[in-house]
Structure formats: C-alpha cells, structure tokens
C-alpha cells in the first residue's frame, strides 16, 4: 500500500540524472547489449554490464525504488518470450523485511506485464538457519539455499535476476525448480558483472563484437 501512496507523491525520477518521467531515462540507459552465457545447464541473457547508470539503477531498486524497478522491467521485457512464466530469484527474508518489497520480483512483474507473460514467486531463500548443524564440507556442497514453495511441476519457467556474476545463484535456483518438477528454459538478468569474461553478445548481427569481447 505504501508503495502506491509514495508513487502518487513522488513521480518517477531517473536513477542516473534525476530527470522526472522515468526511473531510468532514455539518455542515461545504456543501449541493450544482450549478453549471453551458459552456466552448468542454465542459459542466461543480460541487457548490459553492471556498471555506470545501469549499476546505479539496480542499486536504487535494492533501496526500494519502484519507479526504477519499473524502468528495468521495461528494459528486460523484449527478452521475455510471450506467454512465458517468470520466476524471480528471491532476496533473503531478512532483507525483504528491511526493504518491504523484493526488487527483483518488481522488475519481473513489469517485464511480464509488458509482454503477455506471467509471474510466479515460487522460490524462497533461507536466511541461514537451513545451514545450521551442517559441517563445513556439507555447507559448501549444499545447493539447498533455495526452496521451491509453489506448485511448478510440469511447468516451463524462466528465471529473472538483477545482477549475475558467477551464475551460482541461477544454477541453485534452477536446481530447486527442476527438483520440484519444472522445466527451466534459462535466465534473464538486468546486468552481468564485467569481471566475468564469459559473457558475449548473442545477436546474429554482432559477430565482430563477439570476437572482440573474447580478446578484450
């Protein structure tokens, strides 16, 4: 409820330049780079690098900025297959209590609504209690950080996250969904961390950029 009230009081404002009208204005939004990578059975697409105004926008969403979440959702929307079922990667419970809303779920909701897709908040992330009593080896081996709490058996789903670095979170989430009987087509993320050189442009028209990315 407070979100709606605040939206009415404060109009959307760009996370990059503070211009009124959009959570990330056209001038500040870097062109969509559409980077692709595959992690351990999960194909992921990102709309750009985690840097500059895109990074500022993602951090603003983590601080509860719904206007910026809406802008990032619209940025992600062209990557969403019409009719897809999106599953946001959950934040920790403790963080949810602090922020009052899950930013990734907001981004996924807008992306789904813009493109005739739908959303199911299927995954929950434990705050650490699930690891209690396990040995160090067991904890390191555990891929049980995420629990699937919704009925997704027989459904085909696509993961959504804000930032992706190593892909470990996406792989964990896909594992939880597959264990619950879902088919995971892949993952859509707003930004990829540049430190990981795995990502490459996937557009058929950017073959040259692709080879440059490999050697840069």
**Which residues contact Zn ion (rule: CB under 5 A)?**
14, 16-17, 19, 25, 28
Cα separation, 64 vs 189, whole angstroms: 18
CB closer to Zn ion out of 65 and 145:
65
Shortest distance (Å) from residue 215 CB to Zn ion: 32
Report the residue number, 23 or 88, with the smaller CB distance to Zn ion: 23
| Cα distance between the two ends of the chain | 47
User: Least distance in Å: CB of 99 to Zn ion?
Assistant: 23
C-alpha to C-alpha distance for 64 and 81, rounded to whole angstroms: 27
**Least distance in angstroms from the C-beta of 151 to Zn ion:** 41
Distance, CA of 179 to CA of 166 (rounded, Å): 21
Contact 165, 195 (CB under 8 A): yes
Nearer to Zn ion, 63 or 138 (CB): 63
Six-digit token string for 78: 């062209």
19/213 with CB nearer Zn ion: 19
Smallest gap from Cβ 29 to Zn ion, in A, equals: 8
Instruction: List the beta strands (DSSP E) in 34-176.
Output: 35-39, 42-46, 85-88, 118-119, 123-125, 146-148, 156-164
């Amino acid at each position: 409820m407070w979100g709606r009230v605040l939206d009415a009081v404060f109009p959307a404002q760009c996370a990059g330049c503070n211009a009124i009208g959009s959570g990330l204005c056209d001038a500040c939004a870097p062109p969509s780079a559409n980077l692709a990578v595959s992690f351990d059975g999960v194909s992921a697409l990102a709309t750009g690098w985690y840097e500059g105004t895109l990074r500022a926008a993602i951090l603003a969403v983590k601080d509860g900025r719904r206007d910026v979440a809406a802008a990032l959702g619209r940025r992600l929307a062209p990557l969403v297959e019409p009719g897809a079922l999106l599953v946001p990667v959950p934040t920790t419970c403790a963080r949810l209590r602090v922020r009052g809303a899950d930013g990734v779920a907001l981004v996924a909701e807008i992306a789904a609504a813009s493109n005739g897709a739908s959303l199911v908040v299927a995954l929950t992330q434990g705050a650490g209690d699930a690891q209690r009593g396990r040995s160090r080896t067991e904890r390191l081996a555990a891929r049980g950080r995420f629990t699937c709490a919704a009925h997704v058996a027989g459904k085909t789903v696509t993961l959504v996250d804000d930032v992706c670095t190593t892909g470990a979170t996406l792989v964990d989430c896909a594992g939880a969904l597959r264990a619950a009987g879902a088919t995971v087509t892949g993952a859509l993320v707003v930004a990829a961390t540049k430190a990981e050189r795995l990502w490459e442009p996937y557009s058929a028209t950017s073959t040259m950029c692709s080879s440059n990315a490999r050697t840069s």
